[in-house]
Structure 1
Amino acid sequence: MTVTSTTEHTEYAEHTGQAEYAEGGRDREARPQEAEKTRQAAEAPGEGTAVRAGADAAAAGGAWDDGLIARRAAAAVAATGRQAGAGLPAPYDGGTASGVGDADLAARLDALRELTGLSRPRVDAAALAEAGRVLDDAAARGRLSRRHTVVALAGATGSGKSTLFNTLAGVTISDTGVRRPTTSAALACSWTDGAAGLLDRLEIPGRLRRRPVQGPDGPGAFDGLVLIDLPDHDSAAVEHRAQVDRVLAHVDAVIWVVDPEKYGDALLHERYLRPLAGHAEVTFVVLNQVDRLPEDATDQVLDDLRRLLDEDGIALGEHGEPGATVLALSALTGEGVGELRDCLGQLTSERRAAARRIGADLDAAAERLRPVYVPTGRVGLSEEAREQFADRLAEAVGATAAGQAAERAWRRNAGRACGTPWLRLWRWYEARRAPRTTERPPGETHEEETTTARQRVEQAVRLVADEAAGGLPAPWADAVREAAGRGADGLPEALDGLAAPESVPARPPRPGWWPVAVLAQVAMTLLQVVGGIWLLGQVLGVCAPDLLPPVLLMLAGIAGGPCVEYGSRLAARGPARRYGADAERALRDAAAGCGRARVLDPVAAELLRYREVREQYARVLDPVGGGSSQGRAGGAPALGGSFARGPAGGRSGGRMAELSTTGR
């Protein structure tokens, strides 16, 4: 930070106004002392950690902070009542800019800082470089004088900008002539003291700093004006063009001086005016040398110039609307210079040019970040996608087959408990005497099943990741797929653990009617035994001969046993199906829980992070309506508000509408 003493502008030459004002020896000696005082004031108790952090950041070059530091800075601002988070010691002076108040501008800067901090792990540093530059410039400009307005005079070779510079200053400061280029270095003229820090930022040396001749009333309407005469932007010298680009990046406003011959130069429109179309409110386009035109031709050239500016996307400040100011004048004869003086006086007295410039830079940075944060479609995982993911995992672990096996096991147990003893004995005998069938090696079968299950799991993860990443910008879609891929690494092994034999219930439960069926089966068997013994006794002559009773008993037992077994099977169908369904559901829920913990939860975390950065991006576009309410159903902020300008002239309501309607 450069601190300027009050004696900085005391060493002038004679009042001709042509001598330069430079930093005196006393200023050079006082600067280190005042800088040390500023550092001590920043470290004094009661200023808060955010103020000290801002001083440290300034000493380190004004680098922007991450989201955590921004939140701490916001807390410090709430506690101390000072704007320290964005490197702005206090709000900009002077009302509103472009309909955006100073508090809104500070809120937008805070939102951009929070946005970059949250996005760093996911978004490429090159995409965030422009946002970082805007934050650095805003912090650097906020630490310097807010009383002054820095205006640059830019133009092509022979446009007459140096002549206009001298006319505005009221004295010959910048050299003019037919030799090209005439202006080889940026020249500064300040109407009031205290602008040394701003000129140091523009790297204009003290030998190139001038003061105009002032009347008895002082600077008047130009109080706080700092005028910069730039080299030709189309100069053959590369260092001249580089100097123009460097200074234009840091001034508060710019006056483009064009002449009737070069006002349509493609280099001017394509390299400067069109890319800076969003800076219309801090842009003046002056048609110089109108004294060379016939009276009826001036209006025609002005109309054609306005047409070209409209094609560049520059909003024109006509009929009281905000936008660029287009004037026609002659710096040589003084025609129309008074109107330009009035416009500069109004711009300077309002002291809003710096805030307008930063707001325009914010708009440009937000437009460049638009592909990184604005979704192209619906964002998030639907309930249908989650259910399909659970179904695929259940298929991979064989939940349906496990349920069917559990159902068969229940029925088999019911048959063993309620079947006739003779039929069970016969089945046992048949099973013993039947030859064993040749089967594939169990290891080979298990390996094939494992491979198939792993492929199914990988396919399920891939499909759910594609569903979650659909509609997301590229960095966040990649982050979602990466999170799903990390969770899928150990998912097949975890699912194999769920399908292990110890995870399956050992024995099916027995219903209450089983003892009754067993007793009935025992009774039928006893009837057969009693009937058979009775009949054998008659054959041996032990019992009185009467064949009908023992035969009836035996027939009742023989017929009753299968009837009891058949009835038990009918009664076991419902419980067996429920038991199989419960077993399938348990395995399905276990597989879904495993997939949710390893895949869906990390994916949801990435989607929540994207939602947070999208809300911060909405606040960068509109600090009032961008984050006022949130769409809870789809995770998208309900963004309100609209803007009057089109996409090339500033913030656009269309961008806000797209951000609010997509991703719901």
Structure 2
Amino acid sequence: MTLPQGPRAARPIAGRPDPAVADELGLTVYDVARDLRRDVEDVRLPLPIDGAAEAEASRGRLIAQLDEHLLPRLRELSSPAIVVVAGSTGAGKSTLYNSLLGEEVSLAGVLRPTTREPVLAFNPADRDVVQAGPATEASRVVYHDGVPRGTALLDAPDLDSFLSENRTTAQQLLEAADLWLFVTTASRYGDALPWQALSRATERGASVAMVLNRVPTETLTTIRADLMQRLREHGMTDVPLFVVPDVGPHEGLLEARTVAPVRRWLRLLAGPERSRAVIVRTLKGALGALPAWVTALAEAVEEQGEAAARIRAAIEKERPDAERLARTGVAAGVVAGAAVEARWRELSGSAKVDRVKIRDGVVRSTRRAGRKREEALVALRSDVEAAASRTLVAAGGRVEERLRAVLTGPGAPAGGGAALPDAAARARDRESKIVASVTAWSASVSGVVDGFGAGEHAERVAAAVKAFGPQGLGTLLLASAAGSADAERLLVRVFAEAHAEPVKTLRADLGERAVAVVGDELDAVLGVLDTPNLADDAASGLRVRLAELRRLT
């Protein structure tokens, strides 16, 4: 149950942060963020319980936040503050972007998606302090005098682009930004997308400003008031709001006076110290948002462990009855079945294996006749082994079927179905182990025969070995242990019940092997749960990071 590794996971996070971090935030912040990133990457939520999908999505956003913004920014604090101009299709953000620069730097027009390539513009005077990072890697970098010093303007693809790669890039660039300049329109500000994006910004503690574009003059006051009310309802009362009036159909740049308020606001952020304040404010906001994310993720991990414990309890509850049924099924002497009975009739007629003479309580036979009987009984042993294997396979199959019902049927513990191994693979593994176990059981009869012949029945056993051969006698004992009435009647004639103890030993051994099959089935499911991700202390690393974050914030 492993998760796919994406390009973010491959990005190196080693190294040291910008030296200025020690003054602004403290060197420890980078170390904590780096360790948090490692522990979050290690988290797995294998059980599909309630909330797991949401927690996994949150985990992905947290990794993105660390990879795309926090860690790079902590290492590159001196690089200009990145202001991302973002919005939905047709919001006019590329036109606004170009108008702020006073030149068409980013492609704008009626063809959708308009923004095919992200554009990241820096002031030429900042060239020496620009550091490579997620935003520069994903964008076309330009240097333009229209960008205030200490800041960088990033025109991102549409958040709702019909091209999935554009949507992914837009989200990654938002994560990399220090400030979001979100552009929407008078006709679309009530859509879900703007508020989803703004909620995401609030979730990660980002600094945000908003541009309401193309607002008809006659409704400007009403729309502005409505939007301000919505911002208050979302807890965003401090978000700067800029209103750009509708100028009607046009091509090219907006008039300078139309975008002057936004341009003035950007210049207020300009300069190394003021842009540093923007960066640090967003970093502190992001750090302040982390404890809630980490707490939720740690709780999700702990819920996984609790769900696993309930699944284990449900499985273990089945063990006593399953073991008892397996043992008593063999003890009942019903293993042999019709195939063994048919083989006996064949051997009785052709090889006359049961036609032996008893004199003075001892079987009498020549060695030559004994070798023939032994050769004939090879086929019987194969049938006994096959019957034993079928019995054990059936026992394992019943346990698997029962576990499937317990873990997926009515009243099943949450996530139980995910603990079930692949049925086909399980069947192959079960049969392979059972064949080996039955072969070992069959081979063990040689020791039983040797022990039987070393006791008070030595004379009878020696005579029986002569009459049937050592392997033939072993086959008769195995067949009797498996429940062959014919083999049992012959052994009674030969031993007058003296064979009962060896047969009992073999039957008990087969019963324990059936119990082992039950254990294998239960353990196959328990083994799926035997992972550090579902251990009682699986969230301990996250809890340590959480404590460190709380000390910092």
Contact 2:205/2:287 (8 A) holds in 1: yes
Aligned residue in 2 for 1:608: 530
How do 1:53-68 residues align onto structure 2 when only pairs under 5 Å count?
A: 64=10
Match of 2:136 in 1: 200
Instruction: Describe how 1:249-648 pairs up with structure 2 within 5 A.
Output: 250-265=176-191, 268=194, 272=197, 276=200, 279-282=203-206, 284-288=208-212, 292=217, 298-304=224-230, 310=234, 316-317=235-236, 326-330=239-243, 332=258, 334=261, 346-350=277-281, 352=283, 378-381=310-313, 382-396=315-329, 398-399=330-331, 401=333, 446=384, 451-464=390-403, 471=413, 473=415, 476-479=418-421, 484-485=426-427, 487-497=429-439, 500=442, 501-502=445-446, 588-589=511-512, 591-593=514-516, 596=519, 598-601=520-523, 603-609=525-531, 611-612=533-534, 616=538, 618=539, 622-624=543-545
Q: Which amino acid aligns with 2:132?
A: G
| Secondary structure at the counterpart of residue 490 of structure 1 | helix
> Equivalences for 1:646-657 in 2 at 5 Å?
none
Comparing 486-495 with 158-167, which one deviates more in the overlay? 158-167
**Residue segments in structure 1 that go unaligned for 5+ positions in a row:** 1-59, 66-84, 120-125, 214-223, 311-315, 319-324, 403-426, 429-440, 511-576, 629-640, 642-664
Whole-Å separation in 1 of the counterparts to 2:144 and 2:102: 10
Structure 1 residue identity aligned to 2:189: Y
For the residue of structure 2 that corresponds to 1:201, the secondary structure is helix
- The change in CA–CA distance for 1:277 and 1:303 in structure 2 (over 3 A counts) is same
* Residue correspondence of structure 1 range 218-233 to structure 2 within 5 A: 225-230=151-156
Amino acid at match of 1:286: M
Please state whether the residue corresponding to 2:311 is helix, strand or coil.
Answer: coil
Tell me by how many angstroms 1:392 deviates: 3.8
Aligned 8 A contact 1:174 1:187 in 2: no
Paired AA for residue 36 in structure 2: R
Q: C-alpha separation between the residues in 2 aligned to 1:445 and 1:189?
A: 84
Following superposition, the deviation at residue 251 of structure 1 comes to 2.9
Matches of residues 50-129 of structure 1 in structure 2 within 5 Å? 64=10, 86-90=13-17, 95=25, 102-115=30-43
The residue type equivalent to 1:607 in the other structure is L
Distance 1:366 1:285 in 2: 29
Which AA in structure 2 matches 1:458? Answer: G
Q: Which deviations, in whole Å up to 9, do the C-alpha atoms of 1:2-23 show, x marking residues without a partner?
A: xxxxxxxxxxxxxxxxxxxxxx
C-alpha deviation, 1:152, in angstroms: 0.4
Q: State the AA in 1 paired with 2:86.
A: A
1:150 and 2:82 equivalent?
Answer: yes
Unaligned runs of 5+ in 2: 1-5, 48-55, 245-257, 335-359, 362-378, 456-499
Query: Aligned with 2:402: secondary structure?
Result: helix
Distance 1:337 1:260 in 2: 22
Instruction: Determine which structure has the larger helix proportion and give its number.
Output: 2
Per the TM alignment, residue 254 of structure 1 is displaced from its structure 2 partner at its CA by 1.9
Q: 1:291: Cα distance to partner?
A: 10
Structure 1 residue 610: Cα displacement: 5.5
1:269-309 Cα shifts (integer Å, max 9, x gaps): 57x557x46745215252546894665763333113555xx
CA contact (8 A) 1:154 1:254 kept: yes
Q: Give deviations 1:350-392, integer Å, cap 9, x for gaps.
A: 461795599599879979x99x968867232554323234224
Q: Structure 1 residues 317 and 392, CA, compared in 2 at 3 Å: closer, same or farther?
A: farther
Give the secondary-structure state (helix, strand or coil) at the position aligned to 1:255. strand
Output the CA distance in 1 between the equivalents of 2:381 and 2:503: 27
CA distance in 2, matches of 1:394, 1:453: 10
TM-score by length of 1: 0.44
- Return the structure number with greater relative CO, CA threshold 8 A, min gap 6: 2
Query: Residues 440-468 of structure 1: CA distance to partner in whole angstroms, max 9, x if unpaired?
Result: x9689846665344322322244357657
Alpha-carbon distance change, 366 to 205 in structure 1, aligned in 2, over 3 angstroms: same
Per-residue CA shift, 1:327-365, capped at 9, x if unaligned? 333474639976995797743244617955995998799
CA distance 1:340–1:147, change in 2 (3 Å): same
CA distance in 2, matches of 1:592, 1:298: 75
Structure 2: distance between partners of 1:463 and 1:255: 58
Distance 1:116 1:578 in 2: 54
d(CA) in 2 for partners of 1:444 and 1:578? Answer: 23
SS in 2 for 1:212: coil
SS at the partner of 1:147? coil
Partner of 1:71: none
The change in CA–CA distance for 1:317 and 1:242 in structure 2 (over 3 A counts) is closer
Contact 1:278 1:364 in 2 (8 A): no
Matching residue's letter, 1:197? A
Cα deviations by residue, 1:377-436 (Å, 9 ceiling, x for unpaired): 72325543232342243245x13559xxxxxxxxxxxxxxxxxxxxxxxx98xxxxxxxx
Deviation by residue 1:133-179 (Cα, 9 ceiling, x = unmatched): 77864798369523343220223546578658877xxxx545599x8
CA distance in 2, matches of 1:144, 1:136: 11
- Calculate the TM-score normalised by the size of structure 2: 0.52
Q: 1:101 to 1:615 in 2, by over 3 A?
A: farther
Hey, what's the Cα distance between the residues in 2 that align with 1:490 and 1:251?
57
Percent identical pairs in the alignment equals 14
> Distance in 2 between the 1:624 and 1:238 partners?
34
Q: 1:227 to 1:375 in 2, by over 3 A?
A: farther
Deviations 1:115-140 (A, max 9, x none): 47999xxxxxx999989877864798
Tell me how far 1:264 sits from its aligned partner: 1.9
Aligned partner letter, 1:155: G
